[in-house]
Structure formats: C-alpha cells, structure tokens
Structure 1
Amino acid sequence: MLFSSKKDKFEKYSDPLNEFSNRELKLGEWFLRHELKLKTIGKNTLIVFCVVTVGYSFGYWLYYFGYGYWQDQKMFVQQNLEFENYDNLKSFYRPQNIGFGQINVFNTVSEELYDFSVMVNNPNPRWLVGLTYKYIYSGGETPISKTVVLPGSQRPLTFLGLKTEGYPEGAKLVVLQTEWLKLDSHVLPDVTSFVQERSNFTLANFKYAPISRVNGTPANIITFLLKNNSAYGFWTADFYVVLLSGGEPVGTMYLSLDKFKAGETRPVDLRSFVPGLSVDEAVIYPLINIFDREVYLAV
C-alpha cells in the first residue's frame, strides 16, 4: 500500500509551470534508466552496418579487379568488332563515281572542224550530276563546257566544232568540277520511272545518202523521223545524234528542236560535208534537264 500510494502520487503529479506532462516525465525517466544500454545498442548497430557495407564493397572490388575488369576488357573489344564503322558506311550513302568511255575525235560536219566526244555514265539512280570540263590535246585545249547528266543514264560528253590546224593528237578529258545533287525520295519516290517517262524519244525511218558527184549531192544527207513518245512537251529539245558505222561511232552531231510537243513526230534532216563518211545507223541522246520546270511547255 505504501509503494502503491507513492506511485499514485507520482502519476498524479502536475507540473505547476505546465512545461511537460506526466507522460513526458515517465518517458524521460525511462530514457535515463536505459541510456547506457541504448548507446551500446546504437554503437553496435553502427559497427555491424559498417562491417557489412565496407566488407561487401571491399569484397566486390577484389572480385572486380580479379575477374570483372578482364571481362569488361573483353566486352569492349567485342563491341568494337560489332560496332559499325561509319567511315565504311559512307560509301553506301555517297554517289558512285561516274564512268567514262574511250575518247574519240571526229570530223563530222566539216574536214576543218573537229569534234571531241566520250561516253559518260552516271550509275547513281538518285543523283543528278553537273560537270564542268574541257578537252586538252597536244598544243591546245577546248573552251570550258558545262553539262548535266541525269540519274542512271549515259550520254556523250562533247565539244563540237573546234577549228585547229592539224589533227588534235593525244586528246584527254579534264573534269574541272563535279557537282552532285541528291533527289529527295519524298518528292520523287521513283526517279527511274520519272526519267524514263520524260526522256522517251524514238528514231525511225533512218536514211543515209553519201556525197555523190554523179547524183549531184554535195553533202552527206542524214534523215530520220524523231518522235516524242512522252506526255510532256518541251520549249527546246536538244539532242546529240551519234552516227555509227558497223556499230562503231564515226561522228556526233547536235540537234535542237523548238516547241517539241507531246506525241509529236518531227522529220530531221542533217548534212555533213566530210568526204568518205560512212554511216549505217544513228542513235539519239536527249540533253534535256527534265528536273528543270522551265523546260516544259504549258499543258
């Protein structure tokens, strides 16, 4: 009864200053009684935590330097082997080099005028190429010329009508500048069809009559019909006419037709004053830049 009475009095104690409650007083008493034990538990917990974490880290570093590091090195080597070399891939995205055939020098229209010609091939189906070039030969050179070669096409690269004394020996082509233009696949998804539809010309009824004193013919006469099979008309349609004999080129002539309408057929009459010129076939090569909107006749 004595202790119970003291306990009841302690629990009924009221702080006259109202700074803390009975419950806070009891918690404070409990803390003071167990302070040493709480410090011991906290210290031991901290020691265990440090031993576990530091020990794990130290063990992992030993594992990494003993095994993991070498595995990383192997992985880096493997990544280099598997990773694409973009320098090598550039060849797939840039245009292929254009190709050139054999250079020929002809007398096509006159014995006094020389024509330089070489076949050029653009193997790139999505690249338009502009060329600035000239021909050089022993003792001289031609004026600088510019032209455009359509994607996936071939045509003569010429300089026609050079007047010089004597045959130009050792003729060589010098390309001064090459300008590439890639055609956007979103604008032109099928460049090949685009080119074929707008470069569709056919030559028919080819005839050749050589110079003949007997018949009173002072010039070689080349005639044929040229048809525009495309659905597009052109303000000016320019062509090279390559003359062949036995399948080999013997001359190149320039042809220009004004207002060549879609579906139209034009008679063509060309003259050459070179004696002994033998021709049994002719091939036409359009020179129209079909990617230039200004070349088309209004529909």
Structure 2
Amino acid sequence: MIMPKKEETAAPKLNNNLKSYQPVEGPTNWQLSFGLWWVQRRALLRRVLIGVMAVVSLPLLAYGLYGLGYYFYQGILADRQLAYNLVTATGITHDFIVRRGPQNLTIGPVNILSSAGSSYDLASLAYNPNNNWYASFDYSFIVGGNKTAAQPEFILPQEKKYLTAFLHTGVRTATTVVSLTDIRWQRLAVKESEDIGQTIKERTDISVSDIKLDNSGAERGLPINSLYFRARNNSPYNYWEADFYLVAQAGGNVIGINKYRLEKFYSGETRTVNIQWPAKLSGAQITVSPSINIFDPDNYIDFELGPGQEK
C-alpha cells in the first residue's frame, strides 16, 4: 500500500484545522485565513507591485529626460535673455505714469452774463476728455484778484458741463479765470470701462421735453422770465439728486445760464419744473441738460421691494 507523502497532506490538514478552530482570546478565523493567504501569495504580490511601479515610473522618467534636454537646448538661452532684460530694463518714469494717468480737464473761457439788478453770473464750460476717469473737485472763480466761495462739483467721462457762480457783484473784469482745487480722480474698473459709454447712457437716461420760456415779465419792464419744462427718469434707478443746466443762447452765444436741482427723482417718474429766471432772455433758445452723479453710491435711493437700486 502506497502512503501519501507528508507534505502533500499538510495544506488540506491546515485548512481543515483553521475551519474547526474556535478562537477564545486569540485571532479570529478570518484573520488566520487572511494571514495564510498573504503568506502564500506574498512573492506574487511583490512582483505585481514592482510591475505597476515600473509602468508608472517609465513615463515620468521619459518626461523628466525630455524636460532636461529641452532646458539644455533652449532653456539656458531663455534664462540668459531674461537676466539681460532685467539688467537693461528701464524703470517706471514720470512720463510713463503721466501717459497712464488721466488727462487734465479742459476749462473754457469765463462768460460774464447779466443777471438780476447790477449782479452778474459767471459760467465756464468744462470738459472731461477721458474715457474711463471720473473726477470730483472744488472750484471757484478769481475775479479781479478776489476769489468766490469754493463749490464742489463732479464730471463724468466725456461729459461737458458748466461751472457756475450766480448773482456775483463787483467790478467786471475780462481776466476772470476758474480755479480748480482738490481734484480727486477715480479710475473706473477695467470690466466697467469696457462698456462705460453704455453704462453712462443707461443710468443718465433723463429726457427733457416741453421747454417753454415766458418773457411776458420782460415785456412789462420786469427782467423776470418763467421757464417750464418736463423731465422724465427713463433709467432703472432712483436718485436723491439730479441737476439740470439751463443755457440760453442767441446767435450762437451764451447770454444766460441757470441751474436747477430735482430731489428724490424716481425711476419712471415725470416731473414738471417751473422756475423764475431773472435775466434778459428775449428771443433766446433754451437748452436743458441733465447731470447726475452715477458714480456716487450715496446718490441712489433703494427700492422698497428689495435691497438693490436696480429694478
């Protein structure tokens, strides 16, 4: 009778012993089975791990060799050029800063316009030639060496507006000039300035109609005129303040100027304005131009339906 070799029956006996094993304080059957599985296949798993690492490492090694070769071929020359540019580059000059900064406001000659009694009004046309710079400032007129009281003002990009002083008394002089102080420039964000023209057009959409000038007072010898016009806020915003410049022209020349301010001007609202204008304006053509500080967040009135200003 041929007896089986001892080593051929060792594994089945071991498996049978594991199945019949009842743990008391030692490892569980599952832990013993996993340990046996690990010991029997450890060499195979090691070879699989080495193969996976080789597959991952070879592309990385190839990419590293490529990068090293590229650096020796072109990178060294690029580094030398960069170092040369840093050494020879010119610094930021005053001319460069000036070119990047805002252009100065254009201030026209001062118009001296007759007003009530012996007083007169002063007006000078200001223009902001910048596309994406908004300015706020103080201004005054220097008349014969005397300076009028300073007044705050703003001007939007590409806006034209009159700087004014009303009912001034004293000797009239042709050397009257405008003095600007405390000019504060605000550059609009790049994203906003790309369409700043449309933004200004949308937010200053104020239409003026039915302009009527009544000179009946002047016909009775009284230098009093009555001016009527209607203003409508077509923009989707409510404003605390909206200025209107009233310019009277005859023969292409400015003969009178006035300024009127509407308060609490709501979106979609139409307001009728009636003002008394003490000046000699017979036969004059009247132009009414609105001016709203759309870049002052405090000039917006919140809508009652929500926290924002836009409908």
TM-score bin (small chain): 0.5 to 0.7
Residue 97 of structure 1 is aligned with which of 92, 99, 104?
Answer: 104
Is residue 189 of structure 2 the alignment partner of residue 152 of structure 1? no
Conserved? CA contact 1:128–1:149, under 8 Å = yes
Distance 1:206 1:85 in 2: 57
Could you state the TM-score of these two structures normalised by the residue count of structure 1?
0.64
Give the match's secondary structure for 1:234.
strand
Alignment correspondent of 1:295:
299
Larger radius of gyration: 1
The 1:277–1:131 alpha-carbon spacing in structure 2 relative to 1, beyond 3 Å, is: farther
The 1:95–1:214 alpha-carbon spacing in structure 2 relative to 1, beyond 3 Å, is: closer
Conserved? CA contact 1:246–1:280, under 8 Å = no
Give the counterpart letter for 1:181 in structure 2. Q
% same residue: 27
Give the counterpart letter for 2:228 in structure 1. T
Is residue 207 of structure 2 the alignment partner of residue 202 of structure 1? yes
Give the match's secondary structure for 1:102.
strand
Give the match's secondary structure for 1:103.
strand
Alignment correspondent of 1:264:
269
Could you state the TM-score of these two structures normalised by the residue count of structure 2?
0.62
Unmatched 5+ residue regions in structure 2? 1-83, 304-311
Distance 1:97 1:214 in 2: 44
Give the match's secondary structure for 2:109.
coil
Q: Size of the alignment, in residue pairs?
A: 218
Distance 1:209 1:243 in 2: 13
Give the match's secondary structure for 1:167.
coil
Alignment of 1:104-183 (within 5 A): 104-108=111-115, 110-138=116-144, 140-162=146-168, 164-183=169-188
Alignment correspondent of 1:221:
226
Task: Summarize deviations over 1:153-187 as a string: whole Å, max 9, x none.
Answer: 1111122232x234354211122332211122246
User: Residue 136 of structure 1: CA displacement?
Assistant: 0.8
Alignment correspondent of 2:278:
273
Alignment correspondent of 2:3:
none
Distance 1:275 1:156 in 2: 20
Give the match's secondary structure for 1:254.
strand
User: Residue 135 of structure 1: CA displacement?
Assistant: 0.8
Distance 1:298 1:236 in 2: 13
Distance 1:292 1:242 in 2: 25
Give the counterpart letter for 1:205 in structure 2. D
Conserved? CA contact 2:126–2:161, under 8 Å = yes
Conserved? CA contact 2:231–2:272, under 8 Å = yes
The 1:247–1:266 alpha-carbon spacing in structure 2 relative to 1, beyond 3 Å, is: farther
User: Residue 211 of structure 1: CA displacement?
Assistant: 3.9
Conserved? CA contact 1:224–1:267, under 8 Å = yes
The 1:276–1:189 alpha-carbon spacing in structure 2 relative to 1, beyond 3 Å, is: closer
The 1:237–1:84 alpha-carbon spacing in structure 2 relative to 1, beyond 3 Å, is: same
